[in-house]
Amino acid sequence: MSLNGHENQEQTVPTPCEAEELRYDWSVDEILSILQSPLVGLVHRAQSVHRVHHEEGTVQLASLLSIKTGACPEDCKYCPQSAHYAKKTGLERETLLDVDTVLERARAARAAGATRFCMGAAWREVRDGPDFDRVLEMVSGVREMGMEACVTLGMLTQEQADRLADAGLTAYNHNIDTSPEFYSEIISTRTYQDRIDTIARVRKSKIDVCCGGIIGMGESERDRASMLQVLAGMDPHPESVPINALVAVTGTPLEKQNPVEATEMVRMIATARIIMPKSRVRLSAGRQSLSREAQILCLLAGANSIFYGEKLLTTPNPETDEDIEMIREAGLHVLEAER
């Protein structure tokens, strides 16, 4: 073990072949050795891969809105929206928002500079009926505004995925959250395979896949590598990969988790960038506990998107003007809508 607690001092610069080729067969050990490699070399390697595959210096702003909040039957230990912890979190449940309210919010997000509008519902799965029809209307409304539309609604059947595709949905967010090995510590009401099956349906319906996970839930570094292996084993890789740091919400079973170190977030992002070179890596939940400098380091390590707007789904996110200032300060620029 080295002084910084991380082994594997080699492998810091990408070979020309690595910078250009996509791989789907990374082993957990290979990924772990990247994740644990010396930080400066890791960031350099990620940045080198990033520059080969992405337009230099752009950051996509994605706005989030909870269109149906709380009372979710699942027991995800990190989640303030689970009905299982509602007595302790005190989160008020809300019914599905109406289409006009949502489109108004999308318009405001677009005016503030966002190019993607993500709508989240605290559902275990989609049920056919008036609520789903309403979500389809929201999707087509957002698309008509010229924004990318993403939804996260829980599990889907193939027919539901196809209907979302027909409504023009750009991407579906469905996170694997953690490693297959650690999953049962976090969620008991559905299996890892349920997640994988929904993601496969989304892929089959030709909607882009947005799939990532959370760190800071008590998992090991090997779990983190194993989660990344599942993501990088998807062929094609998910078009976007959100990396969330746990927001430890009072009243949830994970309320006492220590915040993740900024460098842990940088390591996850850099590793995701290296093994999924073309994906959009999103620096997602947890930015409130990262300094501006730590966030800039994440952008340097290959993150090219953030959630933008004062609220995530139910918890706070940095102010929009602070984010614009951070992007400017880093010498980056906001990705503009395609015309």
Residues that bind ligand SAM (CB under 6 A): 72, 78-79, 81, 120, 122-123, 152, 154, 174-175, 177, 214, 244, 246-247, 249, 285, 313
Helix (H, G, I), strand (E, B) or coil at 332: coil
Does residue 120 interact with ligand DTB by CB under 6 A? yes
Q: Of these, 37, 82, 198, 252, which contacts ligand SF4 (CB under 6 A)?
A: 82
Helix (H) or strand (E) holding 299: helix 292-300
Q: Which residues pair with 241 in a beta bridge?
A: 281
C-alpha to C-alpha distances, 141 to 93, 189, 216, nearest whole angstrom: 25, 33, 36
Does residue 76 interact with ligand SF4 by CB under 6 A? yes
C-alpha to C-alpha distances, 160 to 18, 26, 116, 198, 302, nearest whole angstrom: 37, 32, 21, 10, 33
Q: Which amino acid is residue 229, in one-letter code?
A: Q
Residue 259 structure tokens = 């915040």
Q: Which of residues 4-43 bind ligand DTB (CB under 6 A)?
A: none
Convert residues 280-299 into a mask of x (bound to ligand DTB by CB under 6 A) and - (unbound). ----xx--------------
Does residue 212 interact with ligand DTB by CB under 6 A? yes
How far out from the chain centre does Cα 139 lie? Answer: 19
User: Exposed, middle or buried by CB within 10 Å (0-12, 13-18, 19+), for 197?
Assistant: middle
Does residue 164 interact with ligand SF4 by CB under 6 A? no
Q: Which does 314 bind (CB under 5 to 8 A by kind): ligand SF4, ligand DTB, ligand SAM, none?
A: ligand DTB
Q: Which does 174 bind (CB under 5 to 8 A by kind): ligand SAM, ligand SF4, ligand DTB, none?
A: ligand SAM
Q: Which amino acid is residue 22, in one-letter code?
A: L
Is the separation of the CB atoms in 297 and 44 below 8 Å?
Answer: no
Beta strands (DSSP E) in the chain are: 58-68, 116-121, 148-152, 171-173, 208-210, 213-215, 240-245, 280-283, 305-307, 333-334
Does residue 79 interact with ligand SF4 by CB under 6 A? yes
Does residue 315 interact with ligand DTB by CB under 6 A? yes
Task: Pick between residue 115 and residue 198 the one whose CB is nearest to ligand SF4.
Answer: 198
- The least CB distance from residue 81 to ligand SF4, in Å, is 4
Just list the catalytic residues: 72, 76, 79, 118, 150, 210, 282
Tell me which stretch binds ligand DTB (CB under 6 A): 100-108, 189-197, 265-273, 309-317.
309-317
Provide φ and ψ at 61, rounded to 5°. Answer: -100, 120
Is the separation of the CB atoms in 280 and 59 below 8 Å?
Answer: no
Please compute, for residue 278, the number of CA atoms within 13 A of its CA located in the half-sphere on the CB side: 11
Q: Which does 246 bind (CB under 5 to 8 A by kind): ligand DTB, ligand SF4, ligand SAM, none?
A: ligand SAM
Task: Pick between residue 171 and residue 247 the one whose CB is nearest to ligand SAM.
Answer: 247
**DSSP, res 337:** P
Where on the chain is the footprint of ligand SF4 (CB under 6 A)?
A: 72, 74, 76, 79, 81-82, 122, 124, 154
Where on the chain is the footprint of ligand DTB (CB under 6 A)?
A: 64, 80, 118, 120, 152, 173, 175, 212, 242, 244, 247, 284-285, 312-315
